[in-house]
Structure 1
Amino acid sequence: MAVAKWLCRVVIARTHSLELNSYSSSKRIYLNNGVNSRPARYSSSCHGQYDLIVIGGGSGGLACAKEAVQLGAKVAVLDYVTPSPRGSVWGLGGTCVNVGCIPKKLMHQASLLGEAIIDSKAYGWVLPEANAIKHDWQVLREAVQNHIKSVNWVTRVQLRDKKIDYYNGHGQFVDLHTVKVVVKTGKEHTLTASHFVIAVGGRPRYPDIPGALEYGITSDDIFSLENSPGRTLVIGAGYIGLECAGFLNGLGYDATVMVRSVPLRGFDQQMAGIITDEMMSKGVNFLMKCIPLSVEKKNDGKLLVSWTNITDQSTHSDVFDTVLFAVGRRALTKELCVESAGVKTVPESGKIFAENEQTNVKHIYAVGDVLHEKPELTPVAIQAGKLLAQRLFSNSNEQMDYETVATTVFTPLEYGTVGISEEVAIKRYGEDNIEVFHAFYKPTEFSVPQRNVKNCYTKVISKRKDPQKVLGMHFVGPQAGEVIQGFAAAMKCGLTMKQLQSTVGIHPTVAEEFTRIYITKRSGVDPNPQSCCS
């Protein structure tokens, strides 16, 4: 019995140690085969507590911290989540893990499975009556949140195992080499370092209209909603807005998107139009050229939204269960008091000017979404963070390439892209100096259930003169993310049209459509397929 009680106390003490919000390296003992150790490749001349302090526990900051400690640096990570106006909070891991890529992809998958259930009937599966098939929001929400919490836990354990000091608290710059951290308990820590990396990312904006903060939600809240969203108005037509509207529609909820200017601004606009047409064909409503005026809560709990049509200045209103704002994001630099360290930011967005991740203050760097005019993508932040750590703590000179970066918009019919848009290509090289190859295609798996194929489309932009180097690749269709990833590697290697067209495709797949592309827009030839093998 005494042994059992002793073991119990050990387990409780161990668990308690893992759950500490902050801890100091001076009071921690790490055992590595019985030896207290840290990699010794980097020799510091710093007089501060740390070689590197990373402010922000998202993908980019964590990647930088873990790479730095592998190179022998003494590292601390600061991370704190201010509750959203609705009260949503989350754990370590940043936007991607908690309120971004991961939960978005899981809910996107849930909506695709619903579509697959319908398709399966045409393939011979016997289903119950249509009204017996329904979706349970609470089950999906719990599954998604459980997965997120497991990732939060693994991330905490990784920091502990790698001997990175973690402060679950809000950090602010005091001067060039000092930050003040207030942890959840209210205890204050003063930390110094020779290098700092700002990796705080951003949070959603709210429009300055009555009722927005009180009654609206953002992507910070949608994945953890206790109750189903019901009839939803998504205000904003960037990739976040379209992705949310897409999976909500796929889960069976009425979804409307309010568009101020154009959908997917910054992306290839022909592809954006195709995505919009596809979403409309699936039942998503679009309010074009409109701006919201107010959100008012009615006595029955529903939300009355008023808006103006920019084209004719007419005003309209309608009632929704949920209003989701996706009107852009702001960087969290003001909260860090970066001006105390002399770091310059863009006044409107709070984002940081940086050359090769280095701010105007030579020992302060930034990675991820907090950077001005850089792709707001998790893999970009991770790669940039790793390369920065290698330059700081080893002999590496490798810089981050922000140009040829692939991404995918996870709308119901996905849009994958790498390289530049047709608009950018024309502006950069001139219309007479580029060639645009394009084709519509029919995914084989769409044929039996007779799915709509009119928006399955692929486009390759290249230089016109031999060897016709590929400048951009765009793909709308199933599994677009999986398709575009491999071609992104080819583009990094200098892919040309001759190489692409001489590649033997895997038949029948949607990815092979890139290898069969030969019709140019300039030719005026019909890009629609004549057969499955044409």
Structure 2
Amino acid sequence: MAPITPKHYDYLVIGGGSGGVASSRRAASYGAKTLLIEGGHIGGTCVNVGCVPKKVMWYASEVAKTITEAREYGFDVDPKLAKTFNWEYFKPKRDAYVERLNGIYERNLEKEGVELLYGWAKFNEDGLVEVAKRDGTSETFTADNILIATGGKPIPPSIPGAEHIIDSNGFFKLEKQPKRVAVVGAGYIGVEFSGFFHGLGSETHLIIRGDTFLRKFDESIQTTLTDYYTKIGVNVHKKTQVKSVEKLADGALKLTFDTGSTLEVDSVIWTVGRHSYLGLGLEHVGVKVTDRGLIVVDEYQETTAKNIFSLGDVTGEVELTPVAIAAGRKLSNRLFGPEQFKDQKQDYTNVPSAVFSHPEAGSIGLSEADAVEKYGKDNLKIYKSKFTPMYYAMLEHKSPVSYKLICAGPEEKVVGLHLVGDASSEILQGFGVAIKMGATKADFDSVVAIHPTSAEELVTLR
């Protein structure tokens, strides 16, 4: 019997997350014969166990907050109703929404002419893409151009009792709301999880190694949110690490800390770091990987192997969904689009990002510490504002706002903007456009304020 000739494509994409889907659809729109391979659920981390279901949980927590505040605005609503969140009702509803999105993704791929294959891909010893399909069979493929966009996954804990801990993916499988929960990790995932757990009525503990969380963000964001979380009742365990977890006879989990103290909770969620999703046989095609397990790429997403590209979390380049989408589209524009796109590449500077904490935080550009290092302290002008939003004038409880604008040089070019406060993510999007365009403080000042809003403070800073 003659050997089966592998099916050939113009473009083969490994990984059906945000970057892979966007790049494959754009390639197909130019007429490229495109195959997209996904081992799990289409949409990747963001749609299934990340941005989307996490934001839905954040919204639920915000509703609970509004219920607690309604009486002070004249509504006959018992604040205790905020503690009656029905997890068993809400989880399947949230999951159904994600499932609908999976279907939308599949239909959009079909409309664009992208072939979708569910299975796990790797490069075999002959350099072919071999896919272990869901039906138990395997198939091999070749392509003129290959994109690796396999994303990342949570780093599992390596401590005694790790089998009793769930990661950020496992959180979305919880069938019941834990009455007591410990969230381990000082990054944005841990901060967001602990924020909505607390808002929905769980006794919440956040375990961090330093004095503040969100250490990659500007100091103003770190201190404002760490202090506020502590104030509203999130139990922030500073300078603390979990040494072991033990399951007790009653089903509770006992955490032992490096400080010698212990804590009993119902669930432990580990949010300490993520790493790339590899195991792809890259050594068979000459794709270089860093010591941290990230695929090495140049500014055009090219790996060390000819006609093999990579983008998204697996490369470590600004690990945000919209960044992977933008990079994926630009790559396909360059590979398959008109001549005007032949030099197109993704710019990773001044990328806005948000943390869906309580309240939200938003950031673009350099932190104050990074700006000092780059420009020198004497070449910077820092504008700050802290105030209570008008919404809270009617309330006994107040939520903070902290804004910081970092300007460099005699022209006072805006090189950093850092926000804490309600609707920070929405406010930042528009200001992000201005900063990306090179706005100066004078440009901000020239805009008439919208009153009364929190955002108006950004164009009236003195």
The two structures have a TM-score, normalised by structure 2, of 0.95
CA offsets 1:103-157 (integer angstroms, 9 cap, x no match): 1111111101111111111111111473696111112212211110000011111
Distance 1:447 1:330 in 2: 44
Is residue 324 of structure 2 the alignment partner of residue 381 of structure 1? yes
Which residue in 1 is equivalent to 2:188? 239
Is residue 3 of structure 2 the alignment partner of residue 53 of structure 1? no
CA offsets 1:471-511 (integer angstroms, 9 cap, x no match): 01111100111000000000111100001012111111111
Q: Is the 8 A contact 1:48 1:194 kept in 2?
A: no
Which residue in 2 is equivalent to 1:207? 157
CA offsets 1:280-320 (integer angstroms, 9 cap, x no match): 111111111112111111111111111103xxxxx121111
CA offsets 1:186-237 (integer angstroms, 9 cap, x no match): 110101111111111111011211111x111111021231111221111111
Distance 2:456 2:120 in 1: 49
Of residues 304, 310, 314 in structure 2, which corresponds to 1:370? 314
How far is 1:171 from its partner? 0.4
Distance 1:175 1:480 in 2: 50
- Which has the larger Rg? 1
Which runs of 4 or more aligned residues in structure 1 lie more than 4 Å from their structure 2 counterparts after TM superposition? none
Distance 1:496 1:132, change over 3 A: closer
Of residues 213, 218, 224 in structure 1, which corresponds to 2:173? 224
Distance 2:266 2:183 in 1: 11
Q: Is the 8 A contact 1:57 1:78 kept in 2?
A: yes
Of residues 23, 27, 43 in structure 2, which corresponds to 1:93? 43
Which residue in 1 is equivalent to 2:206? 257
Distance 2:262 2:280 in 1: 39
How far is 1:269 from its partner? 2.1
Distance 2:283 2:362 in 1: 38
Distance 1:507 1:186, change over 3 A: same
Of residues 302, 307, 325 in structure 1, which corresponds to 2:257? 307
Q: Is the 8 A contact 1:176 1:342 kept in 2?
A: no
Structure 2: 5+ residue runs without aligned partners?
1-5
How far is 1:60 from its partner? 0.6
Is residue 264 of structure 2 the alignment partner of residue 319 of structure 1? yes
Of residues 493, 496, 512 in structure 1, which corresponds to 2:456? 512
Q: Which amino acid aligns with 1:273?
A: T
Q: Is the 8 A contact 1:441 1:513 kept in 2?
A: no
Q: Is the 8 A contact 2:26 2:333 kept in 1?
A: yes
Distance 1:170 1:236 in 2: 30
Distance 1:354 1:345 in 2: 9
Q: Is the 8 A contact 1:56 1:78 kept in 2?
A: yes
Distance 1:461 1:128, change over 3 A: closer
Which residue in 2 is equivalent to 1:12? none
Distance 2:393 2:326 in 1: 40
**1:373-522 alignment, distance < 5 Å:** 374-394=317-337, 395=339, 396=341, 397-453=343-399, 455-465=400-410, 467-518=411-462
Which residue in 1 is equivalent to 2:274? 329
Q: Which amino acid aligns with 2:264?
A: V
Q: Name the SS of the counterpart of 2:195 in structure 1.
A: helix
CA RMSD between the two structures: 1.5
Distance 2:401 2:439 in 1: 23
Distance 2:79 2:355 in 1: 33
How far is 1:270 from its partner? 2.5
Q: Is the 8 A contact 1:414 1:481 kept in 2?
A: yes
Distance 2:359 2:387 in 1: 13
CA offsets 1:5-55 (integer angstroms, 9 cap, x no match): xxxxxxxxxxxxxxxxxxxxxxxxxxxxxxxxxxxxxxxxxx961111111
Which residue in 1 is equivalent to 2:101? 151
Q: Is the 8 A contact 1:500 1:514 kept in 2?
A: yes
Q: Is the 8 A contact 2:65 2:82 kept in 1?
A: no
Identical-pair percentage: 37
Distance 1:52 1:449 in 2: 57
Q: Name the SS of the counterpart of 2:139 in structure 1.
A: strand
**1:100-179 alignment, distance < 5 Å:** 100-128=50-78, 130=80, 134-174=84-124, 177-179=127-129
Is residue 24 of structure 2 the alignment partner of residue 65 of structure 1? yes
The two structures have a TM-score, normalised by structure 1, of 0.82
How far is 1:177 from its partner? 5.0
Distance 1:178 1:132 in 2: 56
Q: Which amino acid aligns with 1:418?
A: I
Distance 2:311 2:427 in 1: 27
Distance 1:432 1:284 in 2: 38
Distance 1:175 1:77 in 2: 21
Distance 1:79 1:49, change over 3 A: same
Q: Which amino acid aligns with 1:380?
A: V
